[in-house]
Amino acid sequence: MSNQLMIFADPDRCIKCWACQVACKQWHEIKAGTITRRRVIEDTSGTFPDVKRVFYSLSCMHCEKSACMEVCPAGAISKRVEDGIVTVDRDKCIGCHYCFFACPYGIPDYDDGGMDKCDMCLSLGTDENGRPMPHCVQTCPTQALYFGTKEEINKVLDEKNAAMVAGGRL
């Protein structure tokens, strides 16, 4: 799908400030201590003094072949044709948790209303081109989250690679 939208998290830039996680919760008015749509995870490797810490802002990947969609017994999960965003119809969802076990990243979270996950802030409206405006992307202080189609993100990554080769910024 060439118009598939993505939010790509760049581990080179992430500083684990959690701004993306907090922004998401604030904008979606998620109660503290309940569900989480985006979480920052860390992979620590090596031993002192050669410790490496890598951070990653993890959320729904809106997979091309969504395993969650296939296992949902109620057919509550669907993938939009126009932009590939995977959405859940909470009215249909019975909260069986099967999608949690299908998702490679264990993303689905649950409350009384059913399953909840990132929808790229689609529920908060779209811009004049019909694109959602994910708040995690807008909030990230290091611009570690890239939003766009595959081609748009590749272009950003190419520029970044070129800058790195030239000894520039990450």
Partner 1 sequence: MIALQTHWSWLPAIYLFLGGLSGGTFLVSSIVRFASGDRYDHLAKIAPWVSFISLAAGLLCLIAEVEKPFQAMMMWKSFVNFSSWMAIGAWLLFVSILVFLICALFSTPRICTALGELWKPFGTHAEGIVKVTMGIGSVLGFFVALYTGILLGAAPSIPLWDTWLIPALFTVSAMDAGASVTIAILLAEKDERGSKSHVNRLEAALLVLIVLEGAVIAALLTTMSGGTLSEALSASIMLSGSLAVPFWGLVVGLGLGIPGLLGIVGLTGVVKNSSVSRALKVAAVACALVGGFTLRFVILSSGIHGIMMSPDAYQAALGIYQIIS
Q: Does 153 bind partner 1 (CB under 8 A)?
A: yes
Which stretch of DSSP H or E encloses residue 116? strand 114-116
Q: Does 71 bind partner 1 (CB under 8 A)?
A: yes
Q: Does 170 bind partner 1 (CB under 8 A)?
A: no
Q: Does 162 bind partner 1 (CB under 8 A)?
A: no
Closest alpha carbon to 10 in 112, 159, 111, 166: 159
Q: Does 159 bind partner 1 (CB under 8 A)?
A: no
- Cβ neighbours, 10 Å, residue 142: 13
Residues 4-43 that bind partner 1 (CB under 8 A): 6, 8, 10-11, 41, 43
Please work out, in degrees rounded to the nearest 5, the angle formed at the alpha carbon of residue 30 by the alpha carbons of 26 and 35. 125
Residues 101-140 that bind partner 1 (CB under 8 A): 101-106, 110-114
Closest alpha carbon to 105 in 143, 68, 64, 131: 68
Q: What residues line the site for partner 1 (CB under 8 A)?
A: 6, 8, 10-11, 41, 43, 45, 54, 56, 58, 61, 67, 70-75, 92-98, 100-106, 110-114, 150, 153-154, 157-158, 161
